[in-house]
Amino acid sequence: MPVPPTPTKREKFIPLSTLDDVKVELARLYRQTKAGKVATTDASRLAFILNSLGRVIVDADLEQRIAALEQSTDEGE
């Protein structure tokens, strides 16, 4: 029977639902990389993902704002 892997220490859950959350996580990643706790190749990949997530948050916000404007325009006609 195979032995399950030893559980590793789970990192604290960090919400990434706002641009501010993403900004905080990018800053944390930068500090960890600067301190040598995260390899630069890993940090680069993670930063790319965080930046992509930031763009998705901005796009979703714009989409909601446009929908609200369109709805208010339709109601005003």
Higher per-residue confidence, 11 vs 18: 18
Query: Which of 24-28, 49-53, 55-59, 71-75 bottoms out in mean pLDDT, i.e. has the lowest?
Result: 71-75
Q: Is the dihedral of CA 67, 72, 73, 77 positive or negative?
A: positive
Residue spans per domain, the chain: 19-76
* 24 band by pLDDT with thresholds 50, 70 and 90: very high
Average pLDDT over residues 60-70: 96
DSSP secondary structure letter of residue 36? T
- In angstroms, the CA 9 to CA 68 distance is 44
pLDDT at residue 36 above 90?
yes
Q: From residue 47, how far is each of 19, 22, 37, 58, 65 by CA, in Å?
A: 14, 10, 15, 16, 27
How much is the pLDDT for 13?
85
